[in-house]
Amino acid sequence: MSGDRRVRRTRRLVQQALVELILEKGYDAVTVTDVIARADVGRSTFYAHFTDKQDVLFSNLDELAFLHRLPAAGETGELFAFSRPMFEHVREQERLVRALLGRRSGGLVQARGEELLAAAVRNELVAAGARPSAELDLLVVCVVGAFMGLMRAWVDGATSASPAELDAAFRAAVTPGVRLALPPDGCAGSGPVTVVGG
Amino acid sequence: MSGDRRVRRTRRLVQQALVELILEKGYDAVTVTDVIARADVGRSTFYAHFTDKQDVLFSNLDELAFLHRLPAAGETGELFAFSRPMFEHVREQERLVRALLGRRSGGLVQARGEELLAAAVRNELVAAGARPSAELDLLVVCVVGAFMGLMRAWVDGATSASPAELDAAFRAAVTPGVRLALPPDGCAGSGPVTVVGG
DNA sequence: CTTCATACCGAACACATCGTACGGAAACGG
DNA sequence: CCGTTTCCGTACGATGTGTTCGGTATGAAG
């Protein structure tokens, strides 16, 4: 990989320690002192690699970067194709996601996630024939808000629904409204777009 | 009013100081020491009234809590009657809301706001004839998520839409999906319920 | 294996913030 | 006017932060 083996080791230990501690105590309650104790790493070593706690948090984000290769509409012929794979993926990476997105960590990561998702959703809707406009952007905000709301509720343990049920709930709540913002059937460009309900 | 004049004065000074400082530095960067300096209040006095920073934040929220007297469905015969008044109210209290809900303050207030709103929305839907169930709760999460998403986008300056436009966007995105979860017209108990579009 | 670079350790440091305690001064309500 | 409550100011111990520095050990390259 890149560089010294000792470096990789240290970074990995610190990242893992932070995730564990967030899950135990919540982001705010975790101190740098906690992290270096759990990681069994010298204090000066920590600050040689990271500037602070938040820096470690964000360094973890790269591992969640499957966000960048979301399936796009047109490929699958289905709107919001990201929904179910996302819920599935989250269940697999449960520990990390819970640490990053949960109510116990700052809203920092959530904000970034919303941006990425909003861009993807907007592209999808435009590809499906929606006219770019201020109204469309507000619709996108609503769609993303609903999705992230479900995600938060799930991660915070407010619901025990399965990925399939969450996906269904998301579509049931959102697609009827989205449909009205799309042009009537049978004309759009890139392939057959269907809004699936279950 | 309630109690000693000195008490009211102190609490008011502290609350105002916190809001000012959040707007200047962001919630996380504000310290109790900052607050008591700005409020010109003794340290021990602060802790005589509040347990910590977050306590002050939440005490502010209560005064914003026209959330508790949200017009319920059945009274107005209109679903989500809270929407437009809320956006209007937010515009008036812009400084405070920006301080409380903005990306600069922790997700604390947002989480609490979501809870209050979720309870209200759920009551409305049940009053409108929806059967309490796990699916209903997920629908509520979506509705609240969409609303809060709009709120955040607005507060963060991502859109310059008017309260009326935000209200319209919210309803356009959400009501079609909600309708499908309600029983067909003409039977529910408490008065005529109509889902208004614009 | 030797050499050299560099990452690590550990302890100490100055600094900031927190939450509490206490006696005396001030302001309140009646 | 007087008893009560609140406020002030200061000081305190505890905890966390981010940096510095000399010595050690572990890595990679020849």
DSSP, residue by residue, A154-194:
HHTTS----HHHHHHHHHHHHHHHHHHHSPPSS--SSS--B
Distance CA A96, CA A10 (A): 18
Distance from CA of B74 to the nearest CA of A (A): 22
Contact yes or no for A174 and B169 at CB 8 A: no
With CA of B6 and C1' of each nucleotide, the nearest comes out as D6
Handedness of CA B101, B106, B110, B116 (dihedral sign): negative
CA of A33 to C1' of C10 (A): 14
CA of B49 to C1' of D5 (A): 14
B107 contacts in A (CB within 8 Å)? 103, 106-107, 110
pLDDT at position B192:
47
Percent of chain A at pLDDT > 90 equals: 46
A174 contacts chain B (CB < 8 A): yes
Which tops the pLDDT comparison, B139 or A103? B139
Contact yes or no for B180 and A172 at CB 8 A: yes
Q: Assess contact for B177 and B139: CB atoms under 8 A.
A: yes
A89 pLDDT above the threshold of 90: no
**Average pLDDT score over chain A:** 83
CA of B4 to C1' of D5 (A): 9
A164 contacts chain B (CB < 8 A): no
Q: What does each C-alpha distance from B4 to B39, B62, B136 come to in angstroms?
A: 18, 20, 46
Per-residue pLDDT of chain B (198 residues; tens, 9 = 90+): 568 999 999 999 999 999 999 888 888 889 999 999 999 999 999 999 999 999 998 888 776 655 556 555 455 567 788 888 888 887 877 777 877 776 656 666 788 788 888 988 999 899 889 999 999 999 999 999 999 999 988 887 888 899 999 999 999 999 999 999 998 765 444 444 455 543
On chain C, which bases lie within 7 A of the protein's CB atoms? 6-12, 16-23, 27-29
Distance from CA of B6 to the nearest CA of A (A): 33
Distance CA B70, CA B67 (A): 5
pLDDT at position A95:
77
B44 touches strand D (CB under 7 A): yes
CATH 1.10.10.60 in chain A: give the residue spans. 5-59
Q: Which residue has the tokens 């969640």?
A: A64
- CATH of range B5-51; options 3.30.1490.100, 3.40.50.970, 1.10.10.60, 2.40.50.140: 1.10.10.60
pLDDT at position B109:
77
B4 touches strand C (CB under 7 A): yes
Distance CA B152, CA A113 (A): 14
pLDDT at position A188:
46
Q: What does each C-alpha distance from B57 to B30, B60, B155, B170 come to in angstroms?
A: 12, 5, 17, 27
Task: Give the max Cα distance, chain B.
Answer: 62
What digits encode the pLDDT tens for the residues A117-155?
898 899 889 988 999 999 999 999 999 999 999 998 888
A194 pLDDT above the threshold of 60: no
B67 touches strand D (CB under 7 A): no
B125 contacts in A (CB within 8 Å)? none
- CATH of range A5-59; options 3.40.50.10260, 3.50.50.60, 1.10.3720.10, 1.10.10.60: 1.10.10.60
The DSSP call for residue A71 is P
B32 touches strand C (CB under 7 A): yes
